[in-house]
Chain A
């Protein structure tokens, strides 16, 4: 009896150690490149061992390229934040419209928006480029924002419609009897109830637009308008003379940090979006 318990314990202890050694080892592999870059960006050269010293010269150096890192960072922040706000407002309205009203061609419009997800936007970049030129929006961050918001809409509207669908109709009717008008109803009564869905939409909009590459590469040809990924690729390709890898590390760190922080803070909203988008 005692021997049996002991061997069982040893079994669980053995598998416990095995499981967590594997787990920690694998975690280290996945985190290492990120951690290594972070560390190296704060060290003076030479590579590859970031063991000695501390310096922010890599970050300072970045500002000497083209329009400068901080200028690109401002562009990126403007584009991402505007895209997040616009996406949130437009998908909130559309989600409400699709969930709570019946009107002609409702299903057709819904399918039209959702089906754009099937079509790779890479294949319509040329006309978008020409259209932006027609609207005098070529090489403007505003133009890029409008394109980004459009690309975010299928997922966002789908999410928001589901969020509104999950709110019982009785809540709305009760408020309506109390005399709340449509818009007040949406902002005062419904908004707090669909808030989690909106956070998910905003989070995805931020991550996607902050990291977007090919559209920004094609549409923003003026150095003044480069977003971070485009700016850093120009630095990495040696467009501004000899490649300063320390500066690349610093730039990559600046690009990664907001994504990592937002994800760690809002993890459950992220997973929620992932499973909602994936399972349904």
Chain B
């Protein structure tokens, strides 16, 4: 690709003079984008094709691979553990999205208007966002630890619980601990997106409604929410897409436990590909995940492209 460009650029003046319209000196642009195209081709497009190709094979890490057609996909339909993982991922996605919005929307309303200290509040709520998911998960796995952490020993020492409670030993407390961690980590991000949406609503609209006697709740549901459709859709899609790919927090904080009840879709693919080394089967699972995400992205494009109203 990049090897053809210099010659094209060299002959450019001649050709451009003869043909007139397409200015080939412009083709030098190809040289500027060549490194980017090369990287994306080698480390994205080709691997993408390979995933599709590998998904049709029995492909162990060592030894040869053999073409088996759609057998991997047939196996997926019978893989109850994968479907359980997918079910859990969707359950997590629904709960976490609701939780994030429930926290982020009030925060956005709280910091929307500039005022004394507002900058400080915005920054504080946002700080956990810049800490990585791995750091946040490690941090909270310590806070949640039964003996050396914060919550259990603190509750015990304060006399709130008769003995130290292991929060990650059963599904409900473990799951909700992760939810709390992720809300803490992500709410600030959603808050900023919602805040920009809120700020783009013209002030005179709400003023006019106020004069017309609409109360705060009516103004919120009749004016604010409809005008924020695009922003809400964006925040929603970002939250859903991110949650479907959840891995770090469940791997680091819970190791998929207790009793494999918090294995997400990506976690299952990781296990199949890099623990069991069934690379072909992992590739087929990846294709399923990929289709789900692409469909989501297309819905996103539709939602975002449609102008307000409809």
Contacts and interface: CB of A to CB of B under 8 A. Distances in A.
Q: Do A and B bind each other?
A: yes
Nearest to A227: B134
A86 to B, nearest CB: 9
Contact of B32 (A27, A97, A233): A97
B125 interface: yes
B209 interface: no
A16 B149 CA distance: 37
B121 A26 contact: yes
A278 B139 contact: no
B110 interface: yes
Contact of A150 (B23, B33, B44, B133): B44
A112 B138 CA distance: 36
A211 B135 contact: yes
A31 B124 CA distance: 6
A97 B36 CA distance: 11
B27 A248 contact: no
B47 A128 contact: yes
Nearest to A208: B132
Interface secondary structure of B, over-half rule: helix
A249 interface: yes
Contacts of B238: 278
A116 B47 CA distance: 12
Contacts of A233: 134, 138, 251-252
Interface residues of B, number: 82
B44 to A, nearest CB: 5
Interface string A74-96: 00000000000000011101101
Nearest to B287: A123
B182 interface: no
B48 interface: yes
A30 B188 contact: yes
Contacts of B128: 30, 33-34
Contacts of A131: 42-43, 46-47, 50
B130 A255 contact: no
Interface secondary structure of A, over-half rule: helix
Nearest to A233: B252
Given A118-B297, A127-B54, A229 B283 contact: no
Contacts of A98: 29, 33
Contacts of A51: none
B196 A260 contact: no
A153 B29 contact: no
A102 B32 CA distance: 12
B157 A93 contact: no
B127 interface: yes
A229 B135 contact: yes
B201 to A, nearest CB: 14
B91 to A, nearest CB: 19
A256 B135 contact: yes
B290 interface: yes
Interface string A259-278: 11011100100110011001
Given A97-B29, A122-B269, A256-B135, 15 more contacts: A33-B139, A33-B184, A97-B32, A98-B29, A123-B289, A126-B273, A153-B36, A153-B40, A211-B132, A229-B135, A233-B138, A245-B142, A245-B148, A252-B139, A262-B130
Interface of A: 20, 22-23, 26-27, 29-31, 33-34, 36-37, 45-49, 89-91, 93-94, 96-98, 100-104, 106, 109, 112-113, 116, 118-128, 130-131, 146-147, 149-150, 153, 157, 182, 207, 210-214, 218, 229, 232-233, 236-237, 243, 245, 248-249, 251-252, 255-256, 259-260, 262-264, 267, 270-271, 274-275, 278-279
15 contacts: A26-B110, A26-B121, A47-B153, A103-B29, A104-B27, A120-B289, A126-B282, A210-B132, A214-B266, A229-B132, A233-B251, A245-B145, A245-B149, A249-B142, A256-B131
